[in-house]
Amino acid sequence: MRSPLRSLVALLAVAMALSFGTPAIAQQQQQPSSVNPTASSVQERQLMEALRAGTPGTGTTLHGRITIPDTNASNLIQPQGQAWRSVHQGLMHWIAGIAILGMLAVLVLFYMWRGKIRIEHGISGIRVLRFSVFERLVHWMVAGCFVILGLSGLNVTVGKFLLPPLMGEDAFAALAQWAKYAHNYLAWPFMLGLAFMFLMWVAHNIPGRIDIDWIRRGGGLVGGDHPPARKFNAGQKGIFWAVIIGGSALSLSGFYLLFPYYAGGVLGGQFWNMVHGVAGVLLIAVILAHIYIGTVGMEGASEAMTTGEVDLNWAKEHHSLWVDEGAVKATIHPQAQPAE
């Protein structure tokens, strides 16, 4: 019993010696006497230079393999953070400042030059339904969300320079925390309203030949006359598409910021953050102009979104074709007494 086992072990030992031992001896003979283990070692400086030069195959970050489940942690160094920092702490402030303060300055100057645009033929007393309850509900849902989203968004960009001296760091951090919650939650009714807004108004906002004429004649803003328009003139169509396109860009980028694990790691986060910031301040600037012309800039305009009804003369002057084409005939207020 013993001898066959022993011979088997001996055979195995010979086999192992043959398979492992022989190449090892051969290797030893080939290798030089002194070994420099760093001769081929990976060097940070070389990797960083390859990264900066964009050498193919190096990827976008200095990364490797990890054994923990969080694959984001396999990035060892990502130099792009420095670029994002300089954009966020520099360029972004300039874009925000020029877009928002610039728009406010333009509006003040425009008001000083043009004043409030009056209803030329006076108030007729006849009220015309312009926006239904549902349209107004959607508008104010989007508008209310946007005001809070805009302010809380500006807060994380420039708030720390303006507010802590007024209220102290602790109160500011508490405010910023609530602002973040508001920003994250109100994004959803904003997106819902945006979708409704698109569906209910897109048919009235298809650009046409009439809009070219409206723009050429200064839209009644710069020029003195009232170019014809349907339910929405070229200016309002511009606002509509700015809101739809800007709002969509904000929604998409915001989604990636809320769920950073879908955005493709830290570089995706940096990219979508910049898109979100630029789209945000540009849309804020557009909406400032929208608020201006809807309130102090034009007589009889704000009623369209409050009571939903506008004066017939206002409608005739600003939306002549909308009145002429009979879209408003059936909606003349039954109690209204004609002035004539």
Partner 1 sequence: MARMKFLCDADRCIECNACVTACKNEHDVPWGINRRRVVTINDGKPGERSISMACMHCTDAPCAAVCPVNCFYTTADAVVLHSKELCIGCGYCFYACPFGAPQYPRIGNFGSRGKMDKCTYCSGGPLADNSAAEYAAYGANRLAQGKLPLCAEMCSTKALLAGDSDMIATIYKERVLKRGYGSGAWGWQTAYKETIAT
**Residue 181 makes contact with partner 1 by CB under 8 A:** yes
Choose the stretch contacting partner 1; rule: CB under 8 A; options: 44-52, 121-129, 212-220, 322-330.
44-52
**Residue 45 makes contact with partner 1 by CB under 8 A:** yes
Please identify which residue in 103, 128, 130, 155 interacts with partner 1, judged by CB under 8 A: 155
Binding-site string for partner 1 from residue 249 to residue 288, where x marks contact by CB under 8 A and - marks none:
--------xxxx-----x--xx--x---------------
Residue 298, classed as helix, strand or coil, is strand
Q: What angle (nearest 5°) sits at the alpha carbon of residue 250, between those of residues 246 and 251?
A: 115
**Residue 58 makes contact with partner 1 by CB under 8 A:** no
Beta bridge partners of 332: 128
- CB nearer to partner 1: give 155 or 205: 155
- CB nearer to partner 1: give 75 or 331: 75
**Residue 29 makes contact with partner 1 by CB under 8 A:** no
Within residues 96-135, the interface with partner 1 by CB under 8 A covers none
Please identify which residue in 7, 22, 72, 132 interacts with partner 1, judged by CB under 8 A: 72
Within a 10 A sphere around the Cβ of 44, how many other Cβ atoms?
10
* Both structure tokens of 129: 């339904």
Which amino acid appears at position 148 of this protein? I
Q: How many Å apart are CA 64 and CA 9, to the nearest integer?
A: 43
CA R_g for the chain: 33
- CB nearer to partner 1: give 159 or 300: 159
**Residue 71 makes contact with partner 1 by CB under 8 A:** no
Q: How many Å apart are CA 40 and CA 18, to the nearest integer?
A: 30
Please identify which residue in 59, 79, 207, 218 interacts with partner 1, judged by CB under 8 A: 79
**Residue 27 makes contact with partner 1 by CB under 8 A:** no
- CB nearer to partner 1: give 3 or 28: 28
Which amino acid appears at position 16 of this protein? M
Choose the stretch contacting partner 1; rule: CB under 8 A; options: 49-57, 73-81, 120-128, 199-207.
73-81
- CB nearer to partner 1: give 81 or 115: 81
Min dist. Cβ of residue 301 to partner 1 (A): 36
- CB nearer to partner 1: give 87 or 244: 87
The torsion angles phi and psi of 222, rounded to 5 degrees, stand at: -90, -45
Min dist. Cβ of residue 95 to partner 1 (A): 16
Got the DSSP string for 247-266?
HHHHHHHHHHHHSGGGTTHH
Please identify which residue in 55, 89, 295, 306 interacts with partner 1, judged by CB under 8 A: 89
Biggest CA–CA distance in the chain, Å, is: 128
**Residue 81 makes contact with partner 1 by CB under 8 A:** yes
Burial of 48 (0-12, 13-18, 19+ CB in 10 A): middle
- CB nearer to partner 1: give 169 or 324: 169
Q: Which long-range contacts does 57-61 make (Cβ < 8 Å, 24+ apart)?
A: 60/267, 61/266, 61/267
Burial of 195 (0-12, 13-18, 19+ CB in 10 A): middle
Q: For residue 310, what is the enclosing H or E element? A: strand 309-311
**Residue 43 makes contact with partner 1 by CB under 8 A:** yes
Who contacts 257 (Cβ-Cβ below 8 Å, separation ≥6)?
A: 263, 269, 272, 273, 276
Please identify which residue in 58, 60, 74, 331 interacts with partner 1, judged by CB under 8 A: 74
Binding region for partner 1 (CB under 8 A): 36-45, 47-48, 62-68, 70, 72-79, 81-82, 84-85, 88-89, 155-157, 159-160, 164, 169-170, 172-173, 176-177, 180-181, 184-185, 257-260, 266, 269-270, 273
